Structure formats: structure tokens, C-alpha cells
Amino acid sequence: MIVVKDLKRYYGSGETAVKALNGVSFEIKKGEFVAIMGASGSGKTTLLRILALLDDATAGEYTIRGLKVSSLPEAERSYYRLTQVGYVFQDYALINEMSAAENVYVLSMMEGNSKKESYKTALEALEKVGLKGKQDRIPDELSGGEKQRVAIARAIAKKPNIMFADEPCANLDTNNSKQVLDVFKDLNDNYGQTIVMVTHEPWHTEYVDRVITLEDGVLVSDEMMEESGEEK
């Protein structure tokens, strides 16, 4: 589904350039749940943002479902970003004045779908993440874990081919983190959602199929996780 070849991202140029990614190659198959790990500054967010088409690589090739997105013009990249990619941010990125349902359906309405249709899709997405009945609450009336689940509902409402999450549990306690990770796992197990998640917590790897580790902008390990009885 995703093929990355010799991806590089430099910030600045010449001798002082920061080589945030320095030649990274890998493939991700449809239906995989992949964690990207590595020390602070190893290039995880830079990689995720390029994969989610939020940033450009300096060099290298990036293909989504056979289409070389790295060399598409910006208008087409925007289209792919809107239609194929779901993104979950560390800080939820919800609009405070809007209810959970409105936060989920606002994008769909902006794309020209009717309010009725968008609302129905939003309720389905909120139910999938375990927030049935909480559609009218504003973010301030929700826990951190619930806010992040609204953000996940917003991402899945557009039925993305791939979902990216950048440290989605960074601001959550263990209990809320588990609820969020359970939602990702359910989406992966029961709906075949492909997920790529940046994390620095070793225990999060219990939920994923595979762990890619970066060090100083280079891929240093790519491991499949053992299946355990309890988990997948």
C-alpha cells in the first residue's frame, strides 16, 4: 500500500543542514498496524508528516497504492491528503466551541455532503470509538481520552485508506491511553484499518503488528511483533 524508497528530509542546507531523515526505505501493507519508535529527534514526526502528505521530502520516492505521490502537483497532493489520509494529532486539534458530532462532521460538510448525511456518518464514527450518546458534548466536557477518540472518529469518518497518529497518547494517563489504543486495535482488527502510529512508549507495542525504529534519521530496525493470546 505504501512504498518508501530512500526518503530524505533535510532542514536547511550546506554544512549546517539537519538531516532529519537520511535515506529511509520500507513498505507498509494494507491492514498493518505499525508503530514508529526512536529517541527524541530521531525523525519520527518528520517521517509521519511526509507519509501523511503534510510535508515534502527533500529527496526519495513515496508511493501510495501504486501512485507516486511524492512527485504530484500540490493540488493533487491535497486531494489525496483529504480523501485517503486520516491524521490524529498529539493535542487532539478539536474546535472547542463545537460539539463532538460537529467536530467530526464539519469536514464532510465542507466537502459538500448534506448535513443529514454528514451527521449520520459522524454518529456512526462516534459509536465506533465508544462515544455513543456523547455527540452533543463540547471538548471541555470530555476527558482527554474521549477527546482523542473524537479526533479518531473525525479521522475515520472520511474512511481513509491509511490512518496516521503522532504520539496520540502523549497527553493521556495509562487508563485513557489504553482506551485510545483499544480503539485503534479494534479499527485494525475488525475493520482492516491500516494504521501508522508514532510512539515512544514500549508498552504500546503490545497493540501493534510491527515496530519500525529510527535513529538519527536512519531506519535501524524493523520487527514483526509476536502474537500473544490476549492481543491480536
Ligand X SMILES: Nc1ncnc2c1ncn2[C@@H]1O[C@H](COP(=O)(O)OP(=O)(O)OP(=O)(O)O)[C@@H](O)[C@H]1O
Under the rule (CB under 6 A), what is the footprint of ligand X? 11, 18, 20, 38, 40-46, 200
Nearer to ligand X, 123 or 214 (CB): 214
Provide the minimum distance between the beta carbon of 101 and ligand X in the complex, in angstroms, as a whole number: 31
Name which of 83, 88, 82, 53 is nearest 184 in CA terms.
88
Taking CA atoms, 42 is separated from 6, 10, 28, 37, 201, in Å, by 16, 13, 20, 9, 15
Nearer to ligand X, 41 or 144 (CB): 41
Nearer to ligand X, 157 or 180 (CB): 180
Phi, psi of 125 (to 5 degrees): -65, -40
Burial class of residue 202 in the structure, from the number of CB atoms within 10 Å of its CB (0-12 exposed, 13-18 middle, 19+ buried): exposed
Nearer to ligand X, 46 or 176 (CB): 46
Provide the minimum distance between the beta carbon of 38 and ligand X in the complex, in angstroms, as a whole number: 5
Nearer to ligand X, 45 or 113 (CB): 45
Provide the minimum distance between the beta carbon of 169 and ligand X in the complex, in angstroms, as a whole number: 13
Name which of 61, 5, 3 is nearest 32 in CA terms.
3
Provide the minimum distance between the beta carbon of 58 and ligand X in the complex, in angstroms, as a whole number: 12
Maximum Cα–Cα distance for the chain, whole Å? 56
* Distance of alpha carbon 163 from alpha carbon 84, whole angstroms: 9
* Distance of alpha carbon 57 from alpha carbon 43, whole angstroms: 12
Provide the minimum distance between the beta carbon of 46 and ligand X in the complex, in angstroms, as a whole number: 3
